[in-house]
Amino acid sequence: MHINKAIKKFISLALAEDSASRDVTTGLLISEGIRARAKIIAKEPGVLCGLDIAKTVFKQLDKRVVFRVLKKEGAVLTRFEEVALIRGPARAILQAERIALNFLSFLSATATLTAKFIEQVKGIDVKIMDTRKTIPNLRCFQKYAVSVGGGINHRSSLSEAVLIKDNHLKAGCFFNKKRLDSKKLAALFGSSAVRTLAKAEVEVENLDEFKQVIKLNPGIIMLDNFSLVSLKKAVRLRNEYCLRTPSLKQRILLEASGGIALKNIRAVALTGVDRISIGLITHSPKAIDFSLEIRR
């Protein structure tokens, strides 16, 4: 991961939150001149992510710390595998330990879960994508971890792409008696102010909405919480529409979203959708356990 000023600032905030430089226990027990060696161990299998960030935590606290990377980012780890060796001032190593391990544990968890989803759809032409369901101010870290795990990043912020969701349509009064107002939506897509919306993604909640939206030729249609049967029908309808609409510059992409888990993702992928977006990989990954051990 490229360690820029923003990331260094965030690491500084994390160290400040932990009062690392005012560690009373280390200050009482460890003299200023004592040096130490340590190793970081993965205590369970997983996909390694965040080692450069962990290194930066130690170096940012004390430049004299030497951090030797033993495994590459994205490496598949076995239990009790060593990932890094550290030497330098003992105080700095102990003070930075928890923050560095927290980053490793958190990011490796996301990379590991992403890789599990990727494995489930092996051999199928589909993209596994993240969402904006991330911890505030940690999005860049989490989306980086998704990419390390083999996933694709969806938009990173509201400014990056147009994604018209159900609440936009409801708030904008695009429904008439609980049904999409096709004329009003068509006027939106046809207005000179929003011509770029032809590349937009639009969320639909059922096949009736899908049939209305596809006629507007959006770049992507998000199929929210569709059943497998409905997903297959949407794919078939999309394929038929694209075949009989030669004016389309590119095929309309279909994205499945909502209720995606390891147990059903392969079945979803086999319906023929182009993309699957999964909030689970960033909002609910299980932490990967790492430990730092002082070497005697």
Confidence bin at 161 (pLDDT 50/70/90):
confident
Is the pLDDT at 175 greater than 80? The verdict is no
pLDDT of amino acid 179: 73
Active-site residue, 263 included: no
98 is catalytic: yes
- The least confident of 2-6, 93-97, 99-103, 283-287 is 2-6
pLDDT of residue 192: 55
Instruction: Give the pLDDT of residue 194.
Output: 56
* Given the residues 8, 37, 39, 98, the one annotated as active site: 98
Provide CB contacts within 8 A for 270, sequence distance 6+.
124
Task: Judge whether 274 counts as a catalytic residue.
Answer: no
Classify 18 as helix, strand or coil: coil
- CATH top-level class for 121-283? alpha beta
Residues 6+ apart with CB under 8 A from 3: 52, 53, 56
Report the Cα–Cα distance between both ends of the chain, in Å, rounded. 31
Closest CA to 82 of 47, 113, 133, 43: 43
User: Going by CATH, does the domain composed of 5-119+285-295 fall within 3.10.20.30?
Assistant: no
Active site residue 71: no
Residue 199 and residue 219 in contact, taking contact as beta carbons nearer than 8 Å: yes
pLDDT at 217 > cutoff 60: yes
Beta strands in 33-174 (DSSP E): 35-42, 46-47, 66-69, 76-77, 81-89, 127-129, 163-164
pTM over 0.75: yes
Q: What is the pLDDT of residue 191?
A: 61
pLDDT exceeds 70 at position 16: yes
The predicted structure's pLDDT at residue 184: 77
Helix axes 5-17, 51-61, angle to 10 degrees: 70
Q: Of residues 81, 224, 255, 274, which has the active-site annotation? A: 224
Q: Which of 9-18, 48-57, 119-128, 160-169 has the lowest mean pLDDT?
A: 160-169
User: Which entry of 116, 165, 199, 232 is annotated as an active-site residue?
Assistant: 165
pLDDT number for residue 122: 97
The residue from 203, 209, 255, 274 that is catalytic is: 203
Paired residues of 14 in beta bridges? none
With b for 16 or more beta-carbon neighbours within 10 A and e for fewer, the 163-179 pattern comes to: bbebeebeeeebeeeee
Mapped onto helix, strand or coil, the DSSP state of residue 138 is coil
pLDDT of residue 60: 94
- CA distance linking residue 220 with residue 238, whole number of Å: 11
- Which of 133, 155, 233, 266 is catalytic? The answer is 133
11's enclosing H/E stretch is: helix 5-17
Comparison of pLDDT for 218 and 64, the residue scoring more: 64
| pLDDT of 128 | 98
Q: What is the pLDDT of residue 195?
A: 59
Q: Once rounded to an integer, what is the mean pLDDT over residues 268-274?
A: 98
Higher-scoring residue by pLDDT: 225, 163 = 225
- pLDDT for the residue numbered 234: 98
- Average pLDDT of the residues of the chain: 91
Q: What percent of the chain has pLDDT over 70?
A: 95
Give the C-alpha separation, 201 to 231, whole Å: 17
**Stretch among 4-13, 68-77, 259-268 having the lowest mean pLDDT:** 4-13
Q: Is 276 helix (H, G, I), strand (E, B) or coil?
A: strand
Whole-number pLDDT of residue 244: 92
Tell me the three state secondary structure of residue 124.
Answer: coil
The pLDDT value given to residue 42:
98
Read off φ and ψ for residue 30, nearest 5 degrees: -115, 120
Predicted local distance difference test score (pLDDT) of residue 273: 98
How is the chain split into domains, by residue range? 5-119+285-295, 121-283
Specify whether 255 is catalytic.
Answer: no
Each residue's pLDDT tens digit, 249-265: 788 999 999 999 999 99
